[in-house]
């Protein structure tokens, strides 16, 4: 029975979840994560089925026996859909829809749906639409199944929902247009970045698995009121704030979109300009939720995504978060002892903030260069700039010029280097 869009958008749809996992050790993480994604997309799981799969079947992803099992279960519980924790090809999705006699949502669609719900900024919405259309395009070649034609609600929510009936040509044109629009937004962002670069403070990005506590930490450090929520992908648009550190230092901190295991490649591509904030950072703060048993797998996924962004070699401060939930407090101390450049914190309780601040000051100090220079009075303006581009320690107006001792960012250091002197004498 076809349902109206309005109805399906507001109401929760029910689903049979098909967990797919190759490694037994990851079971808990895989299941918790898919449930979290469903919740964020307003999908209510009413039954689950597990499948350990080494190699997906070409046409159907799942094996024949499993397909029958899922079909019977979906019928029995009367679910609106089946959610498969995999990236399905167009043909696989269609074949499964025919077999299950209801719509089939894969992991990518689920994430796209959450992103569509979350997107607030113009750039975010453009990126979501681009991702949805790029996802849909290869499938437009095939004939829609009757379930696809009836589809509303999940998987089709947001900017792309009227596009399903469009032909390939129109979708391609729209993709080209969106790509241009995103370029425009990106140019503005680049300009903002350049103007921030005029300041002395280094850039840092908070990265981490979704729900690790990045926004909670950002709020605590900079007094922002960003949405911090237990649901995955609470944050979609990056936010940058200046954060004051002890000893007169400061930095620009950006809260970013959360990472997730197997972040679909199309999504990474569409959100590249958002994720680029990470690429432009001088260093990253990697927030890890150590209260999750699977935190090590989560950390690996984050490192993989960073590698994909060519940002794996950035200096990194590791923050073991949510230590208030650890049963054994010694565990936090062990981790910090084991991992250089790390601190144990509770972003929500505010524990460990002094340790964190000290780590950050050290990191920032490493990025600044200590300079002593004798600047001619004819170029006095440059001394003024030092205050804006670094931390000034001494200014002495002497007969032969202005003596300056300061910690400066690389750009400013270069400008002053021609006046550099060995020392005060």
Binding residues for ligand GTP, per CB under 6 A?
208, 210-216, 228-230, 232-235, 258, 321-322, 324-325, 346-349
Do residues 297 and 198 make contact, with C-beta atoms less than 8 angstroms apart?
Answer: no
Give how far Cα 14 sits from Cα of 88, 96, 216, Å: 20, 17, 31
Residue nearest to ligand GTP (CB): 258
Q: Indicate the residue among 8 and 211 with the shorter CB distance to ligand GTP.
A: 211
Q: Indicate the residue among 18 and 114 with the shorter CB distance to ligand GTP.
A: 114
Spatial distance between the Cα atoms of 390 and 200, rounded to a whole number of angstroms: 5
User: Segment near Mg ion (CB under 5 A), from 118-126, 159-167, 197-205, 210-218?
Assistant: 210-218
User: Segment near Mg ion (CB under 5 A), from 129-137, 214-222, 305-313, 412-420?
Assistant: 214-222
SS3 319: strand
Do residues 257 and 233 make contact, with C-beta atoms less than 8 angstroms apart?
Answer: yes
Spatial distance between the Cα atoms of 291 and 294, rounded to a whole number of angstroms: 9
Query: Can you tell me which of 234, 267, 344, 416 binds Mg ion, judged by CB under 5 A?
Result: 234
Do residues 365 and 407 make contact, with C-beta atoms less than 8 angstroms apart?
Answer: yes
Q: Indicate the residue among 235 and 346 with the shorter CB distance to Mg ion.
A: 235
Q: Indicate the residue among 158 and 232 with the shorter CB distance to ligand GTP.
A: 232
Do residues 209 and 258 make contact, with C-beta atoms less than 8 angstroms apart?
Answer: yes
Q: How far is the CB of 264 from ligand GTP (least distance, A)?
A: 16
Q: Indicate the residue among 39 and 161 with the shorter CB distance to ligand GTP.
A: 39
Q: Is 235 in the site for Mg ion (CB under 5 A)?
A: yes
Question: Residue 233: which of ligand GTP, Mg ion, none does it interact with, CB under 5 to 8 A by kind?
Answer: ligand GTP
Q: Is 215 in the site for Mg ion (CB under 5 A)?
A: yes
Do residues 48 and 16 make contact, with C-beta atoms less than 8 angstroms apart?
Answer: yes
> Residue count at the site for Mg ion (CB under 5 A)?
4
Spatial distance between the Cα atoms of 35 and 18, rounded to a whole number of angstroms: 11
Question: Residue 213: which of Mg ion, ligand GTP, none does it interact with, CB under 5 to 8 A by kind?
Answer: ligand GTP
Question: Residue 229: which of Mg ion, ligand GTP, none does it interact with, CB under 5 to 8 A by kind?
Answer: ligand GTP
Sheet strands side by side (includes 13-20): 43-51, 13-20, 81-84, 103-106
User: Segment near Mg ion (CB under 5 A), from 29-37, 215-223, 279-287, 369-377?
Assistant: 215-223
Question: Residue 321: which of Mg ion, ligand GTP, none does it interact with, CB under 5 to 8 A by kind?
Answer: ligand GTP
Q: Indicate the residue among 235 and 363 with the shorter CB distance to Mg ion.
A: 235
Q: Indicate the residue among 114 and 234 with the shorter CB distance to Mg ion.
A: 234
Long-range CB contacts (within 8 A, 24+) of 398-406: 398/374, 400/374, 401/374, 401/375, 401/376, 401/377, 402/374, 402/375, 402/376, 402/377, 403/372, 403/373, 403/374, 403/375, 404/371, 404/372, 404/373, 404/374, 404/375, 405/370, 405/371, 405/372, 406/370, 406/371
Q: Indicate the residue among 212 and 278 with the shorter CB distance to ligand GTP.
A: 212
CA triple 287-292-294, angle to 5 deg: 95
Q: How far is the CB of 182 from ligand GTP (least distance, A)?
A: 21
User: Segment near Mg ion (CB under 5 A), from 107-115, 170-178, 211-219, 286-294?
Assistant: 211-219
Residues that bind Mg ion (CB under 5 A): 214-215, 234-235
């Amino acid at each position: 029975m076809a349902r109206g869009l309005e109805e399906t958008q507001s109401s929760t749809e029910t689903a049979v979840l098909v967990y797919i996992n190759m490694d037994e050790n990851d079971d808990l993480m895989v299941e918790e994560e898919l449930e979290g994604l469903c919740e964020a997309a307003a999908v209510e799981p009413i039954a689950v089925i597990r499948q350990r799969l080494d190699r997906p079947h070409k046409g159907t992803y799942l094996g024949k026996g499993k397909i029958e099992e899922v079909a019977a279960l979906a019928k029995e519980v009367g679910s609106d859909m089946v959610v498969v924790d995999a990236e399905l090809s167009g043909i696989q999705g269609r074949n499964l829809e025919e077999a299950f006699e209801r719509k089939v949502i894969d992991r990518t669609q689920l994430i796209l749906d959450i992103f569509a719900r979350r997107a607030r900024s113009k750039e975010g919405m453009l990126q979501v639409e681009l991702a949805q259309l790029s996802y849909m395009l290869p499938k437009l070649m095939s004939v829609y199944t009757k379930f696809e034609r009836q589809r509303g609600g999940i998987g089709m929510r947001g900017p792309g929902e009227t596009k399903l009936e469009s032909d390939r040509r129109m979708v391609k044109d729209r993709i080209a247009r969106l790509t241009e629009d995103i370029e425009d937004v990106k140019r503005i962002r680049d300009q903002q970045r350049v103007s921030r670069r005029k300041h002395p403070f280094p850039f840092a990005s908070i990265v981490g698995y979704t729900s690790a506590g990045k926004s909670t930490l950002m709020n605590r450090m900079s007094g922002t009121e960003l949405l911090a929520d237990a649901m995955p992908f609470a944050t979609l648009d990056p936010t940058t704030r200046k954060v004051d550190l002890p000893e007169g230092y400061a930095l620009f901190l950006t809260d970013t979109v959360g990472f997730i295991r197997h972040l679909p490649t199309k999504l990474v591509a569409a959100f590249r300009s958002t994720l680029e904030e990470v690429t432009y950072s001088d260093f990253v703060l990697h927030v890890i939720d150590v209260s999750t048993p699977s935190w090590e797998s989560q950390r690996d996924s984050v490192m993989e995504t960073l590698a994909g962004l060519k940002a794996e070699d950035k200096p990194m401060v590791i923050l073991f978060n949510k230590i208030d939930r650890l049963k054994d407090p010694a565990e936090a101390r062990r981790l910090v002892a084991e991992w250089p450049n790390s601190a144990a914190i509770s972003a929500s309780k505010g524990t460990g903030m002094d340790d964190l601040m000290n780590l950050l000051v050290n990191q920032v100090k490493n990025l600044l260069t200590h300079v002593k220079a004798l600047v001619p009075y004819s170029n006095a303006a440059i001394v003024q700039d030092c205050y804006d581009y670094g931390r000034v320690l001494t200014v002495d107006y002497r007969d032969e010029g202005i003596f300056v001792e300061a910690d400066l960012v690389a750009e400013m250091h270069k400008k002053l280097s021609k006046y550099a002197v060995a020392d005060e004498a």
